Amino acid sequence: MKKIYIGNMSFGTTEDALENLFSKFGEVVSVTIKRDSFSELSKGFGFVEMTDDDAAMRAVSALNGKEVDGRKVRVSEAVEKSAQNTQNRRKFFEKRTNKASSFKKEKRNDDNSNEF
């Protein structure tokens, strides 16, 4: 079973519309549109689960960039949230560490030049 991410959706896109769109490529197990917990309005992204991995990948390549309800949607294989966050955090802290260490080196060089 393959989970697919759909982003940049129109706020009016429904679960039924997504199911009809993806069912052209294979059997759809579930459709979820993420909604705001207070207003219940769409957040503009969701997920579709399909039984056949090959059909899911055909759907991804056929629908990515296609206009749905007036917006070009982004369709890709879903990435586990914790794995994605781990990668993003690692990149963030690597950049931060590199900047800090280069600043320290510059500071040490400046301190040495002021000695008599």
Q: What is the pLDDT along the chain (116 residues), one digit of tens a residue?
A: 999 999 999 999 999 999 999 999 999 999 999 999 999 999 999 999 999 999 999 999 999 999 999 999 999 999 877 666 667 767 777 776 665 555 555 555 555 555 55
From residue 14, give the alpha-carbon distance in Å to each of 21, 46, 74, 82, 114.
11, 10, 16, 27, 67
Q: What is the pTM of this model?
A: 0.69
* pLDDT of res. 101: 57
* pLDDT of res. 103: 55
As a three-state string, the secondary structure of 52-100 is CHHHHHHHHHHHCCCEECCEECEEEECCCHHHHHHHHHHHHHHHHHHHH
* pLDDT of res. 43: 96
